Amino acid sequence: MTESNESLASIISNFDKLRLLVVGDLMADKYVYGSAERLSSEAAVPIVKVKKEEYRLGGAANVANNVRQLGATVLLCGVVGYDDAAHMFRKAVRDAGIESGGIFPSSDRSTTLKVRVVAMPYNQQIVRYDYESRKQLTENETPTVKRYIESNIDQINAILISDYDKGMLLGNTLPRFIIDLAREKNVPTIVSSKQRHFRLFTNATAVIPSYYDAQDFVHIVNGNFYTNITSIGEEIVKLLDCDAALVVREEQEIAVCTKDGRQKTLQIGAANNFNPAGVQDTVCGTFALALATGADYESAALLASRAMKVVLSKEGMATITIGELHE
């Protein structure tokens, strides 16, 4: 299928009219930049003289940031701890223009924080250390999240579920509630999840797995080991009873497969492939926005492939703008 630039531009022009709800595992990313000039006398490790620190949105919050950068209104829902990282995270969310009324504090967990120490001037990551909790939501927290989603369902155009396996969506209760409510209200639900949680999201509108997660899942469930990306996508649609699957093979290709038998593979061909961190977040956000406008799956996949190509040409955790998507 070949889409005219005019047709795609028409889809993009409606992004700023949309309201999307992003539900999932919230993370903060901290980058510590400095110069590594000598080794420590205490151990064979470099001493980094810190020059600057940056805080960025990660996990489901990075998905929300991608959606916001493309012009839509975004509601973010998840849990954080009572700690300094939560304070920094909330500030970053506000600065990004994302609605934060669905971010709830929990005394039962720490805020997920990934700290990366990077040596300048070559941007060489020396070490990463994580603070995180993978606890399931408590009996008191789950109803609070449900009420927030239910109170906003009539004002949103799509729900994007971002599962990074940090506990927010652990168990069947919350995923089933979201998908069933969205089906009842005719709101599309787009899911990005880790392989071991795929079955929690059956009957979603669309799922967006990575190539290798999808390949492993199909092999585990029915014993078939496929290498063709569309064959994997077709099996995912059947096994998860979803309307469509968008399988993402980082740096190479994406394929969309639908329940009615349509399929399309798109090569990426990025000129410069930098660190692909956050690429799937960009793909998910763009695909969800296109579907929320009423676009068909092939057009949504084409826009997602464009977004993927752009973000692969950027260093680190990056987002995409409307202007870049038009190019």
Token digits for 79?
Answer: 């849990």
- The H-or-E segment that residue 300 falls in is helix 297-311
Q: What is the DSSP string of 188-234?
A: -EEEE--GGGGGGGTT-SEE--BHHHHHHHHHHHHS----SHHHHHH
Token digits for 232?
Answer: 């994997």
Q: How far apart are CA 133 and CA 1, in angstroms?
A: 44
Kindly name the residue from 84, 260, 281, 296 that is annotated as catalytic: 281
Residue 29 annotated as catalytic: no
What residue type is 107 in one-letter code?
S
The three-state secondary structure class of 73 is strand
Q: How far apart are CA 227 and CA 223, in angstroms?
A: 13
DSSP tag of 82: S
Q: How far apart are CA 129 and CA 112, in angstroms?
A: 11
Residues annotated catalytic, as ranges: 281
